[in-house]
Chains A and B, each alone.
Chain A
Amino acid sequence: MSVLALVSIVVVVALIFDFTNGFHDAANAMATSVATGALRPKTAVAIAAVLNLVGALLSTEVAKTISSGMVDDKLVTPEMVLAGLVGAILWNLATWLVGMPSSSSHAMFGGLIGAVLATAGVAGINGGVIISKILLPALVAPVVAGITALVATKLAYRIVKNHLADSKPMFKHAQTVSASLVALAHGTSDGQKTMGVITLVLIAGNFQASGSRPQWWVILIAALALGIGTYTGGWRIMRTMGRGFADIETPQGFTAETSSMVAILASSHFGFGLSTTHVTAGAIMGTGVARTPDEVRWSTARRMLVAWLLTLPAAGIVGALAGLLAHQGTWGVVVLVLLMLAGIGALGWLASHNKVSHDNVNDQRDVTVRRQRAGAGKAE
């Protein structure tokens, strides 16, 4: 396969990943605003999409390494990047199908690690970095955000105590601002991920000088893919985040979003990367525990935890298989892309049995995959 053809395929697949990234993470910024009614669902995703786009356009720092040192970047070929992206896309869509928030970055790292392990062996992997950059932050993020949101929620409710009903509309407006900031923060961090991947593949294919900044068209298409993905909404995950864990009122929504926002900002500032998804989910749990401890749905939280634990190995296994396939040469790459498209189609078809959209995102607490009879399960 010509280098140009391979690079083009990787660019397109990277944009598909970018789309699933925005799609998966729309809930991080907007789930609580949608659940409390602070914003109408369509308005919420429109704001999030525009701010993700703006954030991505404004953040064009030089792309760092694809893997932040988790794998030996010198060993990474465009085929491995392709395989890693396929693993990440399929895992993102599988978790979307069951309505589970999970980290898109972890999915991408998992896919890449799997692809490198399968094709370059253990030597290409840096286990220490995986622990310090993936596993530890994944443990820390929800705990820090959760405890913060818990304490802040308690304080807020104590302060407004006798004026809660009158205060709620004010928190509603405040929540719109806090949610918008989370969306902007998401755009600045996640837009760069795809730009980084595309840029490094362009460099690997000798279409761009080593160490140079992302090209303007790369910035533009990556920002657009993220924004369009966000606008599409990922309503299944939105439902779980907004309604699945706890009943959220506007002061809680504001508190959860503020702690997510501050955590994301602080972690990017101090160079300790926390996943937006882990932070947001932790903050929502924390604020739920603070107000209605008996009504927090731990079963949903447990399922989410399982999804988090599975992200790395699951995306890794797909990435490994995809990597082996892609290394067979042209036919392998073609088959891989066809299999990926088939997988996307299959997951989309499964999701269509029980659609969650902006119309019914708040109707229930759970996302089910099985086909439901019309009108069934509307009770909640």
Chain B
Amino acid sequence: MTINWLALAEVAGVTFGATVVLVVLMALAARLLAGSYEDDGSSRGTAAVVERSVGMAILGVMVLIVLFGIYLLVPYFR
């Protein structure tokens, strides 16, 4: 019986690492975008603009990661 322990460890490691990165990115984006408005909906000025921009940039990165995921998923693309 051969068990591919290396593949097993790789799957476990990649699953943990990539998921944590993706979820942390999404949480950061959500926090920055949600936190940049006051409760009454008004903006908090320059700091808020920076927060929103960074938040949007993170979302942009996530879109790229999703596209990469689709590329990996579909054998047709490779």
Q: Which residues of A contact B (CB under 8 A)?
A: 55, 58-61, 127-129, 131-132, 136, 140, 144-145, 147-149, 151-153, 155-157, 159-160, 162-163, 166-167, 170-171, 174, 177, 181, 184-185, 188, 251, 254-255, 258-259, 261-263, 265-267, 269-272, 274
Report the bound CA distance from A258 to B19 in whole Å: 6
The answer to whether A188 touches B73 (Cβ under 8 A) is: yes
Query: What residues of A have a CB within 8 angstroms of the CB of B64 in the complex?
Result: none
The answer to whether A263 touches B15 (Cβ under 8 A) is: yes
Report the bound CA distance from A77 to B49 in whole Å: 67
Nearest Cβ in chain A — how far from B53, in angstroms?
A: 16
Residue of A nearest to B20 (CB): A152
The answer to whether B14 touches A255 (Cβ under 8 A) is: no
Query: What residues of A have a CB within 8 angstroms of the CB of B72 in the complex?
Result: 265, 269
Query: What residues of B have a CB within 8 angstroms of the CB of A181 in the complex?
Result: 66, 69-70, 73
Residue of B nearest to A137 (CB): B8
Q: Which residues of B contact A (CB under 8 A)?
A: 1-4, 7-8, 10-12, 14-16, 18-20, 22-24, 26-31, 33-35, 37, 62, 66, 69-70, 72-76
Per CB-CB distance, the 6 closest pairs between chain A and chain B, nearest first, are A128-B1, A166-B34, A167-B30, A159-B27, A152-B23, A156-B27
Nearest Cβ in chain B — how far from A269, in angstroms?
A: 7
The answer to whether A272 touches B76 (Cβ under 8 A) is: no
Query: What residues of B have a CB within 8 angstroms of the CB of A171 in the complex?
Result: 26, 30
The answer to whether B15 touches A262 (Cβ under 8 A) is: yes
Nearest Cβ in chain A — how far from B8, in angstroms?
A: 5
The answer to whether B11 touches A263 (Cβ under 8 A) is: yes
Residue of A nearest to B6 (CB): A270
The answer to whether A270 touches B19 (Cβ under 8 A) is: no
The answer to whether B12 touches A140 (Cβ under 8 A) is: yes
The answer to whether A152 touches B4 (Cβ under 8 A) is: no
Nearest Cβ in chain A — how far from B4, in angstroms?
A: 6
Report the bound CA distance from A157 to B54 in whole Å: 19
Query: What residues of B have a CB within 8 angstroms of the CB of A153 in the complex?
Result: 23
Report the bound CA distance from A185 to B17 in whole Å: 19
Query: What residues of A have a CB within 8 angstroms of the CB of B26 in the complex?
Result: 156, 170-171, 174, 254, 258
The answer to whether A59 touches B11 (Cβ under 8 A) is: no
Query: What residues of B have a CB within 8 angstroms of the CB of A157 in the complex?
Result: 27
Query: What residues of A have a CB within 8 angstroms of the CB of B28 in the complex?
Result: 159
Query: What residues of A have a CB within 8 angstroms of the CB of B16 in the complex?
Result: 144, 147-148, 151
Task: Choose from A61, A163, A174, A267 the contact partner of B31 (Cβ within 8 Å).
Answer: A163
Report the bound CA distance from A316 to B13 in whole Å: 33
